[in-house]
Amino acid sequence: MSTLASSNQQLIERAYAAFAVGDIPAVLQTMDEAILWHVPGRGPLSRDYRGHQEVLGFFQHFTELSGGTFRIQIDDVLANDQRVVVLVTESAERKGRKWSSPQVHAWTIKNGKAVVFWQYQGDQQTEDEFWSA
């Protein structure tokens, strides 16, 4: 692995570690001010978010919907000089229901900051239903 790929991987791993302990300012520091954050689907969270304030709003929204139960487990990390792909399992509880799903998080890195985040759900319909109900 190149030095740049290793640096990119470490950047994203730091973001997930900070998220896991609720250090959202540290998470945002890993992202470019103009980050594009894409959540596909047709649920209440699905759309493009641009910039730190919109991403912060997204974080607050799913935290409220899940009553703070949302978690991400990292299953594997793959990195090169421009991208980091993180295979994860996301889980949450909402209104007495439990949800867990494999996901792929694709990050684009430029100049030491995440500039694009693209999420791919393991089961889009189930996820949309979970966050909508």
Note whether 45 and 58 are within 8 A (CB): yes
- Sign of the torsion angle spanned by Cα atoms 94, 40, 75, 101: positive
In CATH, what number is assigned to the domain containing residue 28? Answer: 3.10.450.50
Give how many domains the chain has, as a whole number.
Answer: 1
Range of the domain at 32: 3-132
User: Strand ranges (DSSP E) for 29-132?
Assistant: 31-39, 47-50, 71-79, 83-94, 97-110, 113-121
| 74's tokens | 């990292």
Residues 102, 84, 67: CA angle, nearest 5 degrees: 45
Per-residue pLDDT tens digits of the chain, which is 133 residues long: 899 999 999 999 999 999 999 999 999 999 999 999 999 999 999 999 999 999 999 999 999 999 999 999 999 999 999 999 999 999 999 999 999 999 999 999 999 999 999 999 999 999 999 999 7
**How many Å apart are CA 94 and CA 131, to the nearest integer?**
8
Can you give the pTM of this predicted structure?
A: 0.94
Q: What is the pLDDT of residues 26-56, one digit of tens each?
A: 999 999 999 999 999 999 999 999 999 999 9
